[in-house]
């Protein structure tokens, strides 16, 4: 037990071994047999929510915070003494104190229910900052024990009556390295047994009592780190899990006996920086330059045997500092930092009205400049408190800066408020991805360029394409991309996932996305769970998340698109641009051209230097794949994955003479004949890229059904296949509009010719004026020439036909 959830017989034996009460058994069974009692992220929209795939549970486990709940899940998944982990268990009714100190009934849902070697236990997970606030504000419910543990009394009382243990897990920042390391150790458990010979390992440690992970791999002549990390997981090797990272092999020191870890620091040598090394230092201990120069000048004057009043006072400071353990230099450092009048200078009534004005009036007036707002404030302040003058403009601007986040929230919403908010403490932030394929981000971008999807010579029809890009967060490499003429949807997501698999035969372990409907769909969640990947939702309306993908889009726009015809990168005032110079009129690039150009751009970008690395991102990606092959999720592009990524499942009627009619195309498979006289419709999934295949559910199998053009499609080059799918599938509606325009023009032409025949008694024809290839046209329709055509009477001769018999 420990690496897989309990079977039914093991579960009831577990109940017997721990004397679990009948109420507790029922609670556990209800939790095991139902879906999580609530959807995470509904109330925690500022949190990073994730769905962690558990190999132990063979299902996803939802977490509502990355540094607390997800950390607990990783630690529990790694712990072989934890047999099962269930998120969002059955809710219970508790009695907690309200703000008035009165007990009120409330529904309570714990974070997790775990079954471990000590018995079943319900767990509430909080971080240190949240616990500190709760203990201070709600001391009747949240209690800190003498040993540092935390109790949530309302929940503890209820679960004790049921017969279940209850505890509060406090996630501290000290766990961040341990969680990262245990994640890597977990990944190697699916890679088979280590290929290291025990004698070879012993021989290596006879040569040296400690090795870095990098040096040991070189010594053992291994291709990657998998086997060594598996030895760590099995307890054959040890390292400082709380201060070192397996993802940094040169800085991770291994020993064969755990008690030898304390001697590694002597062997390793001093570091420039380590965790908790630095702290704030008082000015008297480390003065700035001006302070130091003043102290040195005072020492010089004391040494010159002056006897003025100032010098006598400085000598007294030296004696006093000596009694407190300070040097002469420290004793003479000026106390300028105490200077200044720190008392509030603005009258309390003025201060209160200024605050009220900024929140209620200034913030509610979008577009009003700071200067005009200050003038309005002065007028109203003179009416509100005539006995006191209004605050100065400098004070007004300072208060605006202090309240900028609240003003932005009222004026421009949550997204703007998050943008102007102060950064978080870097020491408390989650660790970034260190290895390729550990975490990737996916996002969409409406490209600032028009592409020609239908060319009628006189007036090309154009559309702006959507780019969907997957970027590796550790290396910055672009892993995959897709292009679409439709708004972001499940189809866009499926295409970028397929592109990643085709290029690398691998998928990232985690995918972090925004909270758009395409990413929150059941389809996307099921697709990631199918590949045992983790879905991570970043906070809503938070522009600081997703900066890696946004950075790529910004570079593509400024460095590439701005130099291509038909771009809109600097097109702001549409009414100020001549009609024939608008981007739509200048578009010449086709989807084929755009695909090749974006491919060239990302190839160039992945070869450019990033930050302080001495290798190009693509080289780092290749090295990580070679040295840490267990990080990514192996995935071959086969029939199973093709059907898993197919979208739009619904029923279609079967015509047994022609097949399935979907999107103007007929599809057929001989196996559809099996449904004759049994069913007249079948559930179908449409391929997101290939317009000439769909998948029909016949019996218990998904069967490919093909169009008549599938053979031609298979002979196209890869980019042409992609373009064919883009035009047929994504531009279908736009092409239908063009066709409708053509049909309308035909009706008008026929009606015009009919009216002319009735008027003149003779038929007429439309004569088109010759086209000057060098002349530029501004027609809005491909049929403008037909509109302007000259209708002339058709002159015919009567020919007598004589038959000779």
pLDDT, tens digit, 9 for 90 and up, residues 202-212: 999 999 999 99
User: Three-class SS of residue 511?
Assistant: strand
Work out the angle at residue 132's Cα, subtended by the Cα atoms of residues 128 and 137, and round it to the nearest 5 degrees.
150
**Tens-digit pLDDT profile for residues 741-762:** 777 878 888 888 887 777 766 5
Look at residue 771 in the predicted model and tell me its pLDDT: 45
Look at residue 152 in the predicted model and tell me its pLDDT: 94
What is the rounded average pLDDT of the residues 102-112? 91
Rounded distance between C-alpha atoms, residue 463 and residue 450, angstroms? 5
What is the rounded average pLDDT of the residues 138-163? 92
Rounded distance between C-alpha atoms, residue 751 and residue 421, angstroms? 65
Q: Is there a contact between 537 and 54 (Cβ–Cβ < 8 Å)?
A: no
Cite the beta strand spans of 538-634 per DSSP E: 633-634
Residue 761 sits at φ, ψ, to 5 deg, of: 75, 5
Look at residue 785 in the predicted model and tell me its pLDDT: 53
The highest-level CATH class for domain 434-634 is alpha beta
Rounded distance between C-alpha atoms, residue 467 and residue 448, angstroms? 10
Rounded distance between C-alpha atoms, residue 404 and residue 396, angstroms? 12
What are the distances in angstroms from CA 758 to CA 290, 309, 765, 793?
A: 102, 121, 14, 12
Name the helix (H) or strand (E) containing 114.
strand 112-116
Q: Other C-beta atoms within 10 Å of 598: how many?
A: 20
Residue 486 is given by DSSP the state S
Q: Is there a contact between 723 and 592 (Cβ–Cβ < 8 Å)?
A: yes
Cite the beta strand spans of 327-473 per DSSP E: 440-446, 451-454, 461-463, 466-472
What are the distances in angstroms from CA 66 to CA 47, 175, 405, 428, 530?
A: 8, 12, 25, 12, 22
What is the rounded average pLDDT of the residues 694-700? 93
**Tens-digit pLDDT profile for residues 384-406:** 999 999 999 999 999 999 998 88
Helices (DSSP H) in 360-489: which residue ranges? 370-384, 393-402, 404-412, 414-420
Residue 796: name the closest of 768, 770, 757, 747 by CA.
757
What is the rounded average pLDDT of the residues 344-363? 89
Residue 546: name the closest of 509, 507, 506, 519 by CA.
519
Q: Is there a contact between 254 and 262 (Cβ–Cβ < 8 Å)?
A: no
Residue 680 is given by DSSP the state S
Q: Other C-beta atoms within 10 Å of 162: how many?
A: 19
**Window from 32-36, 141-145, 218-222, 651-655 with minimum mean pLDDT:** 32-36
Residue 62 sits at φ, ψ, to 5 deg, of: -85, 140
Q: Other C-beta atoms within 10 Å of 149: how many?
A: 12
Residue 257 sits at φ, ψ, to 5 deg, of: -125, 130
- With a CB cutoff of 8 Å and minimum separation 6, the contacts of 609 are 616
Q: Are strands 506-507 and 461-463 parallel, antiparallel or unpaired?
A: unpaired
**Window from 21-25, 571-575, 650-654 with minimum mean pLDDT:** 571-575
Average pLDDT, whole number, for the chain?
85
Look at residue 797 in the predicted model and tell me its pLDDT: 47
Rounded distance between C-alpha atoms, residue 475 and residue 440, angstroms? 10
Show me where the domains of the chain are located.
Answer: 8-171, 195-268, 289-332, 348-420, 434-634, 648-730, 734-793
Indicate if the pLDDT at residue 270 is higher than 90: no
Residue 748 sits at φ, ψ, to 5 deg, of: -65, -40
Q: Which residues are paired to 497 by β-bridges?
A: none
How far, in whole angstroms, is CA 363 from its chain's centroid? 31
Q: Is there a contact between 602 and 461 (Cβ–Cβ < 8 Å)?
A: no
Work out the angle at residue 25's Cα, subtended by the Cα atoms of residues 19 and 30, and round it to the nearest 5 degrees.
165
Residue 624 is given by DSSP the state H
Would you list the DSSP string of 169-236? EEE-GGGHHHHHHHHHHHHGGGS-S----HHHHHHHHHH-SEEEHHHHHHHHT-SSSHHHHHHHHTTS
Look at residue 518 in the predicted model and tell me its pLDDT: 86
Rounded distance between C-alpha atoms, residue 99 and residue 138, angstroms? 9
What is the rounded average pLDDT of the residues 613-635? 92
Look at residue 799 in the predicted model and tell me its pLDDT: 41
Name the helix (H) or strand (E) containing 601.
helix 591-605
pLDDT confidence bin for 574, thresholds 50/70/90: very low
Rounded distance between C-alpha atoms, residue 537 and residue 512, angstroms? 6
Look at residue 795 in the predicted model and tell me its pLDDT: 53
**Tens-digit pLDDT profile for residues 491-523:** 999 999 999 999 999 999 999 998 888 888 888
How far, in whole angstroms, is CA 44 from its chain's centroid? 16
Residue 636 is given by DSSP the state -
Q: Is there a contact between 468 and 496 (Cβ–Cβ < 8 Å)?
A: yes
Would you list the DSSP string of 26-61? HHHHHHHTS--SS-TTSS-TTS-EEEEEETTTTEEE
CATH 1.10.10 holds for 195-268: yes
Q: Is there a contact between 780 and 755 (Cβ–Cβ < 8 Å)?
A: no
Q: Is there a contact between 32 and 53 (Cβ–Cβ < 8 Å)?
A: no
Contacts 24+ apart (CB under 8 A), 334-338: 334/291, 334/294, 334/295, 336/291, 337/283
Name the helix (H) or strand (E) containing 97.
strand 92-97
Q: Is there a contact between 435 and 474 (Cβ–Cβ < 8 Å)?
A: yes
Which CATH code, of 3.40.1350.10, 3.40.640.10, 1.10.238.10, 3.40.190.10, is assigned to 8-171? Answer: 3.40.1350.10
Q: Other C-beta atoms within 10 Å of 392: how many?
A: 13
pLDDT confidence bin for 715, thresholds 50/70/90: very high
Rounded distance between C-alpha atoms, residue 65 and residue 125, angstroms? 9
Contacts 24+ apart (CB under 8 A), 716-722: 719/592, 719/595, 719/596, 720/592, 721/689, 721/690, 722/483, 722/595, 722/689
Rounded distance between C-alpha atoms, residue 407 and residue 248, angstroms? 44
The residue with greater pLDDT, 480 or 577, is: 480
What's 65-94 look like in SS3? CCCCHHHHHHHHHHCCCEEEEEECCCCEEE
- With a CB cutoff of 8 Å and minimum separation 6, the contacts of 445 are 466, 467, 468, 469, 553
Look at residue 37 in the predicted model and tell me its pLDDT: 55
Q: Is there a contact between 46 and 88 (Cβ–Cβ < 8 Å)?
A: no
Look at residue 216 in the predicted model and tell me its pLDDT: 94
How far, in whole angstroms, is CA 585 from its chain's centroid? 36
Q: Is there a contact between 20 and 163 (Cβ–Cβ < 8 Å)?
A: yes
Look at residue 803 in the predicted model and tell me its pLDDT: 42
Rounded distance between C-alpha atoms, residue 484 and residue 463, angstroms? 10
Q: What percent of the chain lies above the pLDDT cut of 70?
A: 89
Would you list the DSSP string of 234-281? TTSSB--TTT--TT-GGG-EEESSGGGGGGHHHHH---S--TT-----
Rounded distance between C-alpha atoms, residue 639 and residue 685, angstroms? 13
Would you list the DSSP string of 712-763? HHHTS-HHHHHHHHIIIIITHHHHHHHHHHHHHHHHHHHHHHHHHHHHHSS-
How far, in whole angstroms, is CA 26 from its chain's centroid? 38
Q: What percent of the chain lies above the pLDDT cut of 90?
A: 52
């Amino acid at each position: 037990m420990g690496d897989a959830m309990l079977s039914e017989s093991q579960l009831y034996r577990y109940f017997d071994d721990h004397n679990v009460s009948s109420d507790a058994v029922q609670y556990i069974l209800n939790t095991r047999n139902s879906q999580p009692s609530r959807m995470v992220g509904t109330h925690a929209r500022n949190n990073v929510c994730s769905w962690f795939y558990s190999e132990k549970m063979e299902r996803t486990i939802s977490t509502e915070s990355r540094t607390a709940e997800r950390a607990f899940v990783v630690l529990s998944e790694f712990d072989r003494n934890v047999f099962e982990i269930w998120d969002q268990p059955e809710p219970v009714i508790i009695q907690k104190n309200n703000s008035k100190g009165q007990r009120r009934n409330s529904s309570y849902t714990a974070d997790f229910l775990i079954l471990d070697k000590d018995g079943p236990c319900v767990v509430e997970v909080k971080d240190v900052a949240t616990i500190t606030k709760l203990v201070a504000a709600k001391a009747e419910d949240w209690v800190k024990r003498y040993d540092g543990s935390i109790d949530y009394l309302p929940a503890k009382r209820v679960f004790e009556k049921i017969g279940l243990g209850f505890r509060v897990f406090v996630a501290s920042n000290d766990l961040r390295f341990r969680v990262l390391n245990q994640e890597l150790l977990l990944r190697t458990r699916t890679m088979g047994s280590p290929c290291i010979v025990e004698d070879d390992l012993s021989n290596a440690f006879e040569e040296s009592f400690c090795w870095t992970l990098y040096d040991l791999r070189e010594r053992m002549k291994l291709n990657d780190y998998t086997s060594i990390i598996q030895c760590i997981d099995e307890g054959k090797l040890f390292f400082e899990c709380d201060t070192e990272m397996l993802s940094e092999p040169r800085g991770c020191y291994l020993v064969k006996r755990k008690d030898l870890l304390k001697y590694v620091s002597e062997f390793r040598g001093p570091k420039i920086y380590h965790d908790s090394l630095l702290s704030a230092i008082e000015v008297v201990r480390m003065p700035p330059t001006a302070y130091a120069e003043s102290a040195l000048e005072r020492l010089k004057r004391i040494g010159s045997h002056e006897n003025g009043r100032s010098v006598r006072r400085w000598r007294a400071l030296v004696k006093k500092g000596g009694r407190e353990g300070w040097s002469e230099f420290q004793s003479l450092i000026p106390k300028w930092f105490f200077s200044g009048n720190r008392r509030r200078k603005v009258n309390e009534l003025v201060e209160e009205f200024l605050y009220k004005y900024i929140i209620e009036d200034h913030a509610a007036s979008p577009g009003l400049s700071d200067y005009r707002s200050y003038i309005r404030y002065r007028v109203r302040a003179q009416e509100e408190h005539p006995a006191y003058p209004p605050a100065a403009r400098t004070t007004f601007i300072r208060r605006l800066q202090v309240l900028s986040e609240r003003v932005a929230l009222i004026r421009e919403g949550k997204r703007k408020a998050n943008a102007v908010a102060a950064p978080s403490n870097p020491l408390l932030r989650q660790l970034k991805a260190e290895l390729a394929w550990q975490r990737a981000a996916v996002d969409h971008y409406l490209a600032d360029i028009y592409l020609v999807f239908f060319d009628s010579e006189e007036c090309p029809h154009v559309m702006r394409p959507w780019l969907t890009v997957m970027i590796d967060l550790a290396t910055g490499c672009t892993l995959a991309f897709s292009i679409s003429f439709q708004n972001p949807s499940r189809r866009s997501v499926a295409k970028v996932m397929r592109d990643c698999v085709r290029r690398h035969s691998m998928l990232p372990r985690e995918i972090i996305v925004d909270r758009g409907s395409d990413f929150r769909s059941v389809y996307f969640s099921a697709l990631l769970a199918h590949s045992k990947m983790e879905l991570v939702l970043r906070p809503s309306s938070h522009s600081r998340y997703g900066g890696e993908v946004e950075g790529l889009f910004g570079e593509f726009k400024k460095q590439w698109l701005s130099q291509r015809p038909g771009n809109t990168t600097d097109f702001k005032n549409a009414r100020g641009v001549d009609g024939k110079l608008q981007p739509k009129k200048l578009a010449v690039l086709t989807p084929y051209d755009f695909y090749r150009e974006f491919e060239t751009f990302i190839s160039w970008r992945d070869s450019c230097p990033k930050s302080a690395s001495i290798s190009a991102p693509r080289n780092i990606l290749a090295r990580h794949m070679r040295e840490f092959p267990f990080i990514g999720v192996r995935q071959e592009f086969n029939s199973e994955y093709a059907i898993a990524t197919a979208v739009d499942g619904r029923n279609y009627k079967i015509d047994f003479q022609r097949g399935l009619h979907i999107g103007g195309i007929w599809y057929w498979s001989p196996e559809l004949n099996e449904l004759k006289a049994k069913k007249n419709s079948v559930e179908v999934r449409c391929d997101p890229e290939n317009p000439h295949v769909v998948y029909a559910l016949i019996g218990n199998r998904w069967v490919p059904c093909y169009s008549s053009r599938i053979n031609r499609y298979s002979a196209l080059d890869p980019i042409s296949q992609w373009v064919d799918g883009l035009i047929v599938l994504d531009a279908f509606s736009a092409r239908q509009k063009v066709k409708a325009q053509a049909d309308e023009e035909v009706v008008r032409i026929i009606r015009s010719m009919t009216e002319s025949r009735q008027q003149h008694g003779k038929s007429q024809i439309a004569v088109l004026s010759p086209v000057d290839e060098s002349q530029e046209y501004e027609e809005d329709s491909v049929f403008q020439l037909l509109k302007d055509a000259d209708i002339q009477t058709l002159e015919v001769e009567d020919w007598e036909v004589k038959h000779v018999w």
